[in-house]
Chains A and B, each alone.
Chain A
Amino acid sequence: MPQNPYLNVLLTALLTVVFILVSSILLASLAWLLARLFRQTAREQQNAFAGYLFAAPWITGFLIFVLVPLGFSLYWSFTDYRVTASAPPQWVGLENYRQLLLADDGFRASLLNTLYLTVLGLPLQMVVALLLAVLLNQKMRGERVFRMAFYLPVILGFNTAVLLIWRLMLNTGTGIINQLWRAAYQIPGVSELLRGIIYVQEVSAAFFLGLNNRSFNLMYKVIEAGFPEVNRVPLWVQSPLWSKMSVILLMVWGCGAMMLIFIAGLNNIPKELHEAAEVDGASPAQRFWKITLPLLTPYIFYNLVVGMISTLQIFEPIFVLYRDNQPLLSSAISMVYYLWQKSFSHFEIGYGAAISWVILVIILSVTLVQFALQNRWVHYDIY
């Protein structure tokens, strides 16, 4: 049946619309019938019909694409289910979870890497976002152009092409970032700073890798090698000591969304507060720490919650940077990447489902903890 595939797509779209219409009308009629059974007024019956009629696409979609999948995935997470074996799911109880949490070094590594990005990358991203927002808040000429340019990476960052470009930019020998790094060595005084950055980063990354591999030999080696010599450059996508830093660099580059939220927060701070403090002789630094920062805490909280949810799910940057770089993959792999590997390249559906539920529980608990702790440091009362 060689048909035009494009025509088939259009036909399916049409069928979808018909399906939605029919299911919507059925759902709305059901609501109307129920309203009638419960002896509600004619107006209320009409409201029930119209309300369900318009909300029905989402309600059916929620059932088909969210609730039912969630149920299946929960069930599969307790089974041994491999697509390649073409056998039905075998109930194994908590075995998947036991292995995942206690015996799977691969998952352990992916969890620790993801936490590394969350604990180190996210705060860095937020600090840069806040810095840019404060600088832009000075209301000078061209402010709008700057703001849009800083937001642009968020728009571009979704794109595989741009992630690929980053990979080339980070190339140790020929990449543009290291070319600039080498050029910076010519500036007097900068050399020590650059070498210091390399040293601190390598030692701390080696310590972290040590935690992961349960052996600190690498860290001793890095310390033994001593302070980096002149003209040393970062080995971005070449060394396990730098693989996560490259991802953090990408995260910081995409801080524009957070910046826009901070700008909105800064705009909401009453001018009078700053003016009063200035009259009282407060220095700009004092005003920042005593007025700006406390009043921004709701926005910091928001960025932290949303940022953590998205960082814990990071996938694409790591996929594009390291997929075909097997030696480095284990030093950078994230939880979602590991999930992808298990389910869509090894086709261990049951095990993959268990991973996805562990990720969900981690994200949920981190978010709940943040909401529980917010009273300690977030100030809503001033508004």
Chain B
Amino acid sequence: MSEMSQPLVRHKTVQKIHLTVVQIVLTLFLITFLLPAIWMVSSSLKASTEVFAHPIVWIPERPQWNNYARIFEILPFGRFLWNTILVTGLAVLGTVISSVMVGYSFARLNWPGKNLFFGLMISTMFLPEIVTLIPRFMIFRELKWIDTFYPLIVPHWFAVNAVYIFLVNQFLRGLPIELEEAALIDGANRFQILTQIIIPLSKPVIASITVFALLQHYNAFIEPLIFLRSMDNWTMALGIRALNDTNVQNWELVFAAGTMMVAPVLLLFIFAQRYFVQGIALTGFGGR
């Protein structure tokens, strides 16, 4: 025994050193990865002269809190914020309701043609969105929907994002079927089963869809860029891009607007990481 223990002790110290090295390497990576965020937040509080100062100013000498107030004077960011909230809220609501319904149908109900439609649904996940973008634009143009919020909201009430249906489907397949059968024998109809049994049990997956959809619509850029025209209808993402165009002198304002836009995303991520991780685990999609 005593012969064995000595290499074991050595082995442990080697492992300890090894772990420390790994931790140092990871910390270096961590700093690199967080650098943009750190720089953005710190620059948002700088005076004009400090932003590109040499050497780098990390902590502004006198934090310029009124940078945040000044963004609202240059562009109507209050309006952009309301637009973003409205579009995001309605689109997410539609996504959640329709995805749960459709996912339930695919996961739990038996109907003729289901396998065909399921295959079609999966294949739309791999269809580049860009291919349908032009005709969708032309359809919305015919409907006189360009420069309104409708193109950004209405399609999502039809569960057009198959990923969310797939997520619900994967989750519901893991629930025991007996619950539903018992309710059926008791005379409940499918709608009652959905609202009274399935939805209460699916809270985690509903939370997952909600966070991913929130992120998707809040950050959306290409579609607002194409479908929205007048400044009154812009979302935050478009406003920030415009700030870059109109205001090249005052970079600290770009940083402040950026911080303001990213802060909710950051909070969402910190408080709902569980649901992000769960969504990735269920589908294998990394939220791309």
Residues of A within 8 A of B (CB): 5-6, 8-10, 12-13, 16-17, 20, 31, 34-35, 47-48, 50-55, 57-62, 64-66, 68-70, 72-73, 76, 132, 135-136, 138, 140-142, 146, 148-156, 158-162, 164-166, 168-169, 171, 174, 176, 179, 253, 256-258, 260-261, 264, 302, 306, 309-310, 312-313, 315-316, 320, 324, 336, 339-340, 343-344, 349, 352-353, 356-357, 359-360, 363, 367
Give CA–CA (A152, B265) in the complex, Å: 10
Question: Is the Cβ of B109 less than 8 Å from the Cβ of A156?
Answer: no
**With A138-B22, A154-B286 in contact, do A61 and B52 touch (Cβ < 8 Å)?**
no
Residue of B nearest to A136 (CB): B26
Partner of A72, one of B40, B135, B284: B135
Stretch in B59-67, B151-159, B202-210 with 4+ CB within 8 Å of A: B151-159
Question: Is the Cβ of A156 less than 8 Å from the Cβ of B265?
Answer: yes
Give CA–CA (A330, B68) in the complex, Å: 36
Number of A-B contacts (CB under 8 A): 283
Question: Is the Cβ of B158 less than 8 Å from the Cβ of A55?
Answer: no
Residues of B within 8 A of A68 (CB): 135, 139
Give CA–CA (A309, B232) in the complex, Å: 35
Give CA–CA (A17, B153) in the complex, Å: 12
Q: Whole-angstrom distance from the CB of B23 to the nearest CB of chain A?
A: 6
Judge whether B1 is part of the interface by a CB distance below 8 angstroms: no
Instruction: Give the interface residue-count category, chain B.
Output: 35 or more
Partner of B262, one of A35, A136, A159: A159
Residues of B within 8 A of A (CB): 18-19, 22-23, 25-26, 29-30, 33-37, 39-40, 52, 54-56, 82, 86, 90, 94, 98, 101-102, 104-106, 109-112, 114, 117, 120-121, 124, 126-139, 148-150, 153-155, 157-160, 162, 165, 190, 194, 215-216, 219, 221-222, 226, 232-233, 237, 240-241, 244-245, 251, 254-255, 257-259, 261-262, 265-266, 269, 273, 276-277, 280-281, 284-288
* Chain B at the A interface: SS class: helix
Question: Is the Cβ of A70 less than 8 Å from the Cβ of B131?
Answer: yes
Give CA–CA (A31, B117) in the complex, Å: 14
Give CA–CA (A313, B130) in the complex, Å: 8
Give CA–CA (A13, B156) in the complex, Å: 10
Question: Is the Cβ of A16 less than 8 Å from the Cβ of B237?
Answer: no
Give CA–CA (A9, B145) in the complex, Å: 11
Question: Is the Cβ of B288 less than 8 Å from the Cβ of A169?
Answer: no
Question: Is the Cβ of A161 less than 8 Å from the Cβ of B258?
Answer: yes
Question: Is the Cβ of B111 less than 8 Å from the Cβ of A62?
Answer: no
Residue of A nearest to B36 (CB): A165
Residues of B within 8 A of A176 (CB): 35, 39, 56
Residues of B within 8 A of A146 (CB): 26, 30
Question: Is the Cβ of A57 less than 8 Å from the Cβ of B117?
Answer: no
Partner of A336, one of B101, B114, B130, B254: B130
Give CA–CA (A66, B40) in the complex, Å: 39
Most chain-A CB neighbours within 10 Å: which of B40, B237, B251? B40
Most chain-B CB neighbours within 10 Å: which of A47, A50, A309, A324? A50
